[in-house]
Structures are given as C-alpha cells and as structure tokens.
Amino acid sequence: MSAVEPSPIALVLLAGDGGRVGVVEAGPPRGDKRSEAVDPALQDLLDCGLYSAGRVARAAARRLAALSMAKGRLLRPAPVDTVLTPAVDKEFDGLDEANSASAELGLALAILMRQHRCRRQVVAATGALSEGGPSDADFAAIPIKAVAGVDEKLAALGRFLEEHRGGPWSDGLVLATPALSMDGRPFLEAHAGAVASLEAAAKAVGSSVVVAPARSLNEAVKRLGPRPASHPKEWLARLGLGFGVLCGAMALTVAIWLSQPTDLRFGALKGPGGAEATTPLRTAYNHLDGDGAALPECRGRDGVLRVGWGEELTVLAEIGPTTAPAQAYEGIIVGVTEDGDAKLYPAALLPPEGRLARGGDGVVRFGGRIPITPPPRGDGDRQLKLFVLARKLRRYDYKQIEAELRDAMAAAPKDGRLNAASRVIADVSGASLEAVIVATPRVEGCVMVR
C-alpha cells in the first residue's frame, strides 16, 4: 500500500482589514456534490468568497501545458481532479467575490503542486491571472497580473508566520508574486521595504521567505520543484500511444516547445569604436542614402541612455537559439512617449534586412532603426520607452495594442504614462523587453560614454 501524500497548501494573501492570509488545501475528489450548477472541485470555496477566483485558477491550470520540461524530462500528467478546500473559514469572513482576484495565483499553484507532485508542497502567493482562450498560441505562459494592497498583504503574512509557528510553512516558504507592481516597476523594487520587513519577521520565528516574482504561471510553478516522470513506460501507458506513437511524439514536441518561455533579449552590434555594444544604440541619420552610423553612447547620472532629436535608435532583438524556423515567431517593436504617443513597428513590415530571420547559430533575429522625432511643442527633454515583444505562432493585433496603449496613457497623469504603458505591455502574452530613453535637443551631460 502506498503512503498517502499530504495535500499541497496555498497561503493566499488577501486585502482588507490590514491584509489577511487564507489557507487553502488541494486534495483528491471526495464524491460529494452540492448542486449540478456548482463545480464540485470548487464548491467548498463558495462560502468564503473564492469561488470565482477558483474558477479562473482551475481554468488556468488546465490551460497550462500538461507536458512541459523539468530538467530535460517530462512532468507527470495531472490527476483526474483536485478539490480546493479552505482550511480556516474565518480568515475569509467578509471577503467579496469581486475582490478575490489576488487569490487566483495561489489557488492555481495549489492545483499545480498536486498535479506535478512538486517538491515544495506549501506556497504563499498574491496575484491575478490573465484569462485567455484556447486559441492563444502562448496559452502555456498565462501572464500574472499586478494586484493592489501588496504591502499590507506582506505584513499580514509576517503576522501569520509569527502566530502559526510550527506549521508546514515553518521550514521555509516561497512567496510567488507578479513580476511588476501596479505602477509598472519591478515588484522587488516597488515593495523593497515590505519585503525586508517580511524577511525579518520570518527570520525572527526561525523560518525564511523567498520572494519569487514571475511573469507567468508557468514560470511560477517551476520555482516549486516539479518532479520528472519516473519512467517512460508510465507515459506510454497513460497516454495510450500504441500505434500512434509517432504522431504522439510530434504533438509532444510541439507541446513542449509551446510550453517553454520565449528566450528574448537585446542583441549586440558594432559601436562607433568597432567593439560590440548591446542595443539600443544611438545612430546618426543620413538623409542622402538613408544609412546611418553608430554614435557614442551617452548616459545621464541616472544611467538612462540619452539620444538627440533627429537621431535614430538602432534595435536588434534575438530569440533562442532555437530549432524552430523564423516563421514560427512574431515580433514587434513599440515606442511610447511621455506625451502619450505610441508607434508600432511589426517585424514583418521592417526593411528586409531587419525582418525575422534564423541564422546559422540557430538564433532568430529582427530589428531596425527607430527615428527620434522632435516633439510638436517645446524643445526640452522627453522620456520615452522602447518595448520589444515576441511570441510563438499567433500574430499580434497591432491596432488593439496601439489603442490600449493610447487609452491607458491618456487616462494617466503625465508622470505615470510610461508606467501605464508598461502595464499594458505586461498583459500582452509572450515575451517582452523594455528600455527607458531620454530624447534631448542636445546630447550633453554624459557621465558614462562608451
């Protein structure tokens, strides 16, 4: 007889009353059912205001590729079903379903910890999940969205660890969070003080907390140690490949490729001195032949790249190396300004030399030169943000992205427009990069030149 494995536990961090921590267990089905209209796997969440969050979490866990990579081997398939049960109902008193979105990440991770028999069986989490349909080619990523009230939630977790010493979370805890805060800054930067206080509180009771920001659900679950399958025969039996083993292997290869994050980064080109430098790079525009030469890099005291009006930014993006053809990817470069303007440069519409192409080293590259146009009013410095996006198979809806960027920036104060743009880009599925630029009428005051 095999030993009964303990049920995974999620500590979901919720807002209200100075923050609170709800304990939810993920266990096997029990067979009881309240109503035909209620999902039996989530029925226990009805009374604590988490049913809606549970539905989003369960759908996200199902969308996540059941076959992904862990140390080069396959993960175990999911159990038939998982029931989510609140361990202490009083922690959820007064919780409104409409305000439960920050529990979605924790509930999804509870399901996935059981699904993948993770080495860690306890996780703390706060974050909402983006809902996408099955047609989304990047469904395996499932972006994690920022939530409000983070500082009070971290404080509540510190109090919880002090009040519940000796629990299964006492041996060390991973706290899964969104990669970005509500204002568009990196999570650890935006909440540095609250994180430090939480770590100190955990240390005071002989425990520890590792804060693990993640852009996607796939990335978050990998921090919990999913176990590889014990033997290939287990997969053959469960998947029932039989005579369709070749087709199954092909489908498996595609599923694995889709489940892996897109390895996107800024590429390097030769700078003015001949040495390679990471893009974006300042480039002089030659109106006679349209060509340009790299200019010396200039950064202000804040470390931000400075570029002159009328110059260009040369951008090179790299994906991989990968065995997939360049046509399997879509890329786009986006520029936004603090004045609320947004311009999109799809890779397919770039000059031929800048379009998606796979080199002999297996790296897919795309890029181009982005003109820095003087503003219609004034001649002072302007802050810009440059984004590079890439994803697999599915094309971007350029008009929708541009409209969402303009609407978000129009609704934000001037000093918050670039962060508003970052939040829009963070919700677009796939991989993304960003760079902050200062456009200036005179490139001077450089404290770091290369």
pLDDT at position 196, please?
A: 93
Beta strand 83-86 with 122-125 is unpaired
Phi first, then psi: what are they for 249, rounded to 5°? Answer: -65, -40
pLDDT at position 339, please?
A: 87
Tell me how far apart the alpha carbons of residues 204 and 239 are, in angstroms, rounded to a whole number: 48
pLDDT band, residue 26 (cuts 50/70/90): confident
pLDDT band, residue 190 (cuts 50/70/90): very high
Single-letter code of the amino acid located at 17: D
pLDDT band, residue 250 (cuts 50/70/90): low
pLDDT band, residue 175 (cuts 50/70/90): very high
Q: Please, are residues 235 and 74 in contact by the beta-carbon 8 Å criterion?
A: yes
pLDDT band, residue 380 (cuts 50/70/90): confident
Q: How many Cβ atoms sit within 10 Å of the Cβ of residue 193?
A: 10
Beta strand 144-145 with 128-129 is antiparallel
pLDDT band, residue 97 (cuts 50/70/90): low
Q: Give 100-149 as a DSSP string.
A: -GGGHHHHHHHHHHHHTT-S--EEEE--EE----TT-TTTTT-BEEP-S-
pLDDT at position 22, please?
A: 85
Lowest-confidence pick of 270-274, 364-368, 396-400, 430-434: 270-274
Residue whose C-alpha is closest to residue 178's, from 435, 427, 434, 9: 427
Average pLDDT over residues 315-343: 89
- Where do the domains of the chain lie? 9-222, 264-449
From the candidate CATH numbers 3.30.230, 3.40.1130, 2.30.30, 3.30.1120, the one assigned to the domain spanning 9-222: 3.30.230
Single-letter code of the amino acid located at 364: V
66-86: pLDDT as tens digits: 434 333 333 444 444 678 888
Average pLDDT over residues 30-52: 73
Average pLDDT over residues 228-247: 49
pLDDT at position 287, please?
A: 46
Q: What is the DSSP letter of 6?
A: P
Largest CA distance in the chain: 81
pLDDT band, residue 138 (cuts 50/70/90): very low
Phi first, then psi: what are they for 281, rounded to 5°? Answer: -120, 145
pLDDT at position 1, please?
A: 36
Residue whose C-alpha is closest to residue 327's, from 290, 358, 370: 358
251-274: pLDDT as tens digits: 666 666 666 788 889 988 887 777
Helix, strand, or coil here: 173?
A: strand
Average pLDDT over residues 287-294: 57
pLDDT band, residue 55 (cuts 50/70/90): confident
